[in-house]
Amino acid sequence: MDKPILRPARKEEFPAIRALIYAVGINPTGLDWRRFIIAVTPEGELAGCGQVKPHADGSRELASIAVRPGFRLQGIARAILSRLLAENPPPLYLLCRARLGPFYERFGFRAIQLNEMPLYFRCLMRAARIFRQVDVLVMLRE
């Protein structure tokens, strides 16, 4: 199989991006095809995606990082992350499952405490605690 190509998403690819986000079970809010970098096969099949989304409090979030199961463990998430980080200077935040913390640390992110978080992430973490979703981290790349 040829290595997927990274490029900006196109409007007509948004349904496939949204379907992938739902399929992998990550936050489907704030999806905007214009912010996405996608990995596609030479045949045009979506292999993975990611975006940096802005929030009303001024913070920006590395988000929607997803790779289809058949394309995992091939460096696609790493390539998407590297491209997004190269195009979006710090500070950048992200919300992830705690078990993924070490993966993001390799890209310069560190877990932060509630008092270090912008308003958007403080609200998310308070909601996570209410719904007993304690296995999540907010991380920052400065």
CB–CB of 9/47 below 8 Å?
Answer: no
- Which residue would you say has higher pLDDT here, 126 or 23? 23
Burial of residue 75, with CB atoms counted within 10 A of its CB: 0-12 exposed, 13-18 middle, 19 or more buried: middle
Per residue in 62-112, pLDDT (tens digit) is 999 999 999 999 999 999 999 999 999 999 999 998 999 999 999 999 999
Per residue in 104-141, pLDDT (tens digit) is 999 999 999 999 999 999 988 888 776 666 688 899 99
Alpha helices in 42-118 (DSSP H): 76-87, 101-105
Structural domains in the chain plus CATH codes = 5-141 (3.40.630.30)
pLDDT at residue 1 greater than cutoff 80? no
